Amino acid sequence: AVPVAIVAGMSRAAGRGVLVKGGGALETLGRIDTLVVDKTGTLTHGIATVTRIVASKGWDEAEILRLAASLDQLSQHAIARALVAEAHRRDLVLVMPQEGREVAGEGVEGTIDGRAMLVGGRQHVASALAPDELAALDAAVPAGALIVALVVEGRLAGLILMQDGLRDGVGATLARMRALGVGRIVLATGDRRDVALAVTGDLGLDAVAADLVPQDKVALVGREKAGGSVMMVGDGVNDAPALVAADLGVAMGVEGAAASAEAADIILLRDGLDGLADAMAIARRSRRIAL
Ligand code: ADP
Ligand code: MG
């Protein structure tokens, strides 16, 4: 049977918006050594705003945003939802791609008006571009800028520059987790390294792993497990495999990313990591009482 103190702890955690799926998960939460954390949508708001659109020759900004957002209707990614919202704000009329699919954590590929196109981060579009087009893309990206690229029939149509800030109080929350025994905090992001460093440089993270596809996040979690008990926190479908691989998987937010909520041991119903730090403190106390 689950000790009464653990059940009480689970109910107290629920009061903080932290859904713990079982006594075992609460116990593990009380003895985490390493936190592996996703960036976009987890440490950051994930509600990126469009700061600028860089159009290639023959393209205009509105058309780039319209096509990018049209493709991104097929994605639940935080960036995708932000692009669709921005398109609506600008009264652009989106179309449904005739065919298309999301590559989790990278972007979307599909066909609109008979033209094959891709929207996503650098990795996602790189292989679809000729070397000189890729060089043009890299030259156009300001250091540290979050970008979404639109590629139409093998050519770079444009870049959407976005900005996505840290959630309020993230630094203090991570410090609380350290005080509760988390000895190592590692960032695992699908974004570029320069973007990751620009956003999280002041957080004092122990390591930053960038340019990761979902399976890379799994491998990272596996390596970190050699050093102790690993908790992985993420918000997206692209984080789901890593949530399963960790000793404790934590999914942020339930809307949109049902796959990661399903894969997780703990679900954060409120945005931000504050509730999780509260639940860690509760878990440690419950363990002491239950043991
Ligand atoms: P993180 O791992 O930090 O949450 P992601 O791997 O989810 O970041 O996303 C990294 C980058 O991939 C984003 O900055 C964006 O450029 C791109 N990206 C991923 N999915 C999409 C999408 N559906 N539409 C547009 N861009 C995307
Ligand atoms: Mg994310």
Atom of ligand 1 nearest to the CA of 48: 14
Cβ burial, residue 91 (10 Å; 0-12/13-18/19+)? exposed
Average pLDDT of the residues in 34-45 = 94
Residue 43: its pLDDT value, please? 96
| For residue 256, pLDDT beyond 60 | no
Query: What is the 275 CA–ligand 1 centroid distance (Å)?
Result: 25
Residue that has been written with the tokens 């050699």 in this structure: 226
Q: Ligand 1, closest atom to CA 212?
A: 6
The model's pLDDT over 191-247, given as tens digits with 9 standing for 90+, comes to 999 999 999 999 999 999 999 999 999 999 999 999 999 999 998 888 999 999 999
109 lines ligand 1 (CB under 6 A): no
Closest residue (by CA) to atom 6 of ligand 1? 190
Q: Phi/psi at 111 (nearest 5 deg)?
A: -125, 130
> Among 71, 86, 117, 124, which is best to mutate for testing ligand 1, by the most ligand atoms less than 8 A from CB?
124
Per-residue tokens: 179? 């005080």
**Confidence band for 255, pLDDT divided at 50, 70 and 90:** low
Q: What is the CA radius of gyration of the chain?
A: 20
Q: What angle do CA 156, 158, 160 make, to 5 degrees?
A: 135
Q: 238 CA distance to ligand 1 centroid (A)?
A: 9
Element containing residue 155 per DSSP (H, E): strand 155-163
User: Which active-site residues does the annotation give?
Assistant: 38
**Quick one: CA dihedral 25, 26, 29, 30, positive or negative?**
negative
Distance separating alpha carbons of residues 235 and 42, to the nearest angstrom: 6
Strand, helix or coil at 92?
A: coil
Considering only CA atoms, which residue is closest to atom 25 of ligand 1?
120
Q: Is 79 in the pocket of ligand 1 (CB under 6 A)?
A: yes
Beta strands in the chain (DSSP E): 18-20, 34-38, 49-55, 99-103, 107-112, 115-120, 146-152, 155-163, 184-188, 207-209, 230-234, 248-252, 266-268
Separation between Cα atoms, residue 275 and residue 20, nearest integer Å = 12
- Strand-pairing partners, residue 20, are 266
- Of all protein residues, the one whose alpha carbon is nearest to atom 19 of ligand 1 is 106
Q: Which ligand is nearest to the CA of 161?
A: 1
- Examine the pLDDT at 254 and tell me if it is beyond 80: no
For residue 167, give the DSSP letter. Answer: P
Q: Is the CB of 77 under 6 A from ligand 1?
A: yes
Separation of 257 CA from ligand 1 center, angstroms? 14
Ligand 1 within 6 A of CB of 107:
yes
More confident residue, 176 or 256: 176
Give the distance from CA 55 to its chain's centroid.
Answer: 27
CA of residue 28 to ligand 2 center, whole Å: 23
By most ligand atoms within 8 Å of CB, the mutation choice from 36, 38, 50, 79 for ligand 1 is 79
| Ligand 1 pocket residue status of 70, Cβ below 6 Å | no
Q: What letter represents residue 250's amino acid? A: V
Average pLDDT over residues 20-35: 96
Domains of the chain: 8-45+166-290 (3.40.50.1000), 49-163 (3.40.1110.10)
Average pLDDT over residues 39-43: 93
| 269-286 average pLDDT score | 95
Q: How far apart are CA 190 and CA 210, in angstroms?
A: 6
DSSP codes joined into one string, 251-289: EE-SSS-HHHHHH-SEEE-SSSSHHHHHHHHHHHHHHHH
- Residue 3: both structure tokens together: 């000790």
What was the pLDDT predicted at 229? Answer: 98
CA of 105 to the centre of ligand 1 (A): 5
Q: How far apart are CA 165 and CA 47, in angstroms?
A: 8
d(CA 121, ligand 1 centre) in Å: 6
Three-state secondary structure of 101-127: EEECCCEEEEEECCEEEEEECHHHHHC
pLDDT in tens, 72-119: 999 988 899 999 999 999 999 999 999 999 998 889 999 999 999 999
Question: What is the rounded average pLDDT of the residues 131-140?
Answer: 90
Containing H/E element for 232? strand 230-234
Cα separation, 154 vs 44, in Å, equals 32
Which of 150, 136, 57, 146 shows the shortest CA–CA distance to 107? Answer: 150
This prediction has a pTM of: 0.89
Going by pLDDT thresholds of 50, 70 and 90, the confidence category of residue 260 is: confident
